[in-house]
Amino acid sequence: MSNRAYNFNAGPAALPLEVLQQAQEQFVEFNGAGMSIMEMSHRSAAYEQVHNEAQSLLRELFGIPDNYHVLFLQGGASMQFAMLPMNLLAPSRAAAYAISGNWANKAVKEARLIGETIVAASSEGDGYRRTPAITDIVIPDDAAYVHVTSNETIEGTQYQAFPDTGNVPLAADMSSDILSRPVDVSKFGVIYAGAQKNLGPSGVTLVVIRNDLAAASPKSLPSMLRYETHVKNNSLYNTPPSFAIYMVNLMLKWIRSNGGVGELAKVNQAKTALIYDTIDNSGGFYTGFALPESRSRMNVTFRIRNEELEKLFIKESEQQGFIGLKGHRDVGGLRASVYNAVPMASCQALAQFMIDFQRRNG
């Protein structure tokens, strides 16, 4: 399709054209069922096959050990900001949060409503232009869990490695870089992620949780807020976002057909290198927001020397089919979100546009 936009939206974000086309082919009638998957019961064999297959593909592609559950929930990562401490933060303990930017701050704000929290480390002093150093994360021995935000979409920073938290469970919001690179899942107690950046459309949230942590859900919580409820019902306690899960299934098959997570990580690095190199070789016309050691491979944040040029950049880029390059209102500037489904050709086109824009306005 020649009229496809160069989609750099931060989320909901780009999906592979072939995935969209396959969904289009099956939209009215799914596998001879005489109806769309959106119309059929979530208790039907046809839907449960899609549901279970998506869980199996996640285990395969993300290397999820057998002693972890894979859940499909709703409410986005924002729901998990509260659901995590509700389930894991005991009254006599504290949760330790590493503060790396906007989303980490939102997570700890919700946790404070539930129980005691401490700041284990923070990069606020550097304007959140980096992630907290692993060596700076201080973990109390009796902490209920340690929480990190693996990638900050607004500031454009990303952990390049994760802390070893010993016997204290490590929880991570991976909404914006899930399945974009290999991760040792066994180092984590809980991983959660909204699907709408790397896994599919909005509406479904992935939670990967170690068995013992799920089993410890307090019985005093409402059923829908207990991880144990969803484990026992295979994420089918209530009506799931069935079409979104179907799309996740297609997206996972696309990841597998493109070489898996390891191969995608190489492509993602090459895609963002094109843009970072353009920034670094611009002689100061463009400046990156994130410090080089913390640069995200998902969200490239940068500035131009004055806001008038930034406004002109947005205007001209939109005229040429580039979508989503305006930075978040809390930070300003410019941002290119380069998730799994953003093709190399889009990044090449953006790099060339940036070079041309500088030539005309430098």
Which of 66, 106, 173, 311 does the annotation list as catalytic? 173
Task: Say whether 254 is catalytic.
Answer: no
Which of 103, 177, 271, 326 does the annotation list as catalytic? 103
Residue 151 has pLDDT above 80, yes or no: yes
Q: Tokens 């991760």, residue?
A: 183
Average pLDDT on 164-190 reads: 98
Q: pLDDT tens-digit profile of 266-275? A: 999 999 999 9
Average pLDDT on 277-292 reads: 97
Residue 150 has pLDDT above 60, yes or no: yes
Task: Say whether 103 is catalytic.
Answer: yes
Worst-scoring range by mean pLDDT, 50-59, 79-88, 174-183, 330-339? 330-339
Residue 330 has pLDDT above 90, yes or no: no
Determine whether domain 18-257 maps to CATH 3.40.640.10: yes
Residue 1 has pLDDT above 70, yes or no: no
Instruction: Determine the residue type at 217.
Output: S
Average pLDDT on 238-247 reads: 98
pLDDT band for position 165 (50/70/90)?
very high
Residue 5 has pLDDT above 70, yes or no: yes
Q: pLDDT tens-digit profile of 47-83? A: 999 999 999 999 999 999 999 999 999 999 999 999 9
Question: Is the alpha carbon torsion for 147, 150, 156, 161 positive or negative?
Answer: positive
Report how far residue 305's alpha carbon sits from residue 323's, in angstroms, rounded to the nearest whole number: 21
Q: pLDDT tens-digit profile of 10-39? A: 999 999 999 999 999 999 999 999 999 999
Average pLDDT on 114-131 reads: 98
Mean pLDDT over each residue of the chain, to the nearest integer? 97
* Residue boundaries of the structural domains of the chain: 18-257, 260-361
Tell me if 154 sits within 8 A of 328, measured CB to CB.
yes
Which of 177, 197, 271, 326 does the annotation list as catalytic? 197
Give residue 240's region: left, alpha or beta (phi > 0; psi -120 to 50): beta
Question: What local confidence, expressed as pLDDT, does residue 235 receive?
Answer: 98
Residue 2 has pLDDT above 80, yes or no: no
Task: Say whether 197 is catalytic.
Answer: yes
CATH architecture of the domain formed by 260-361: Alpha-Beta Complex (3.90)
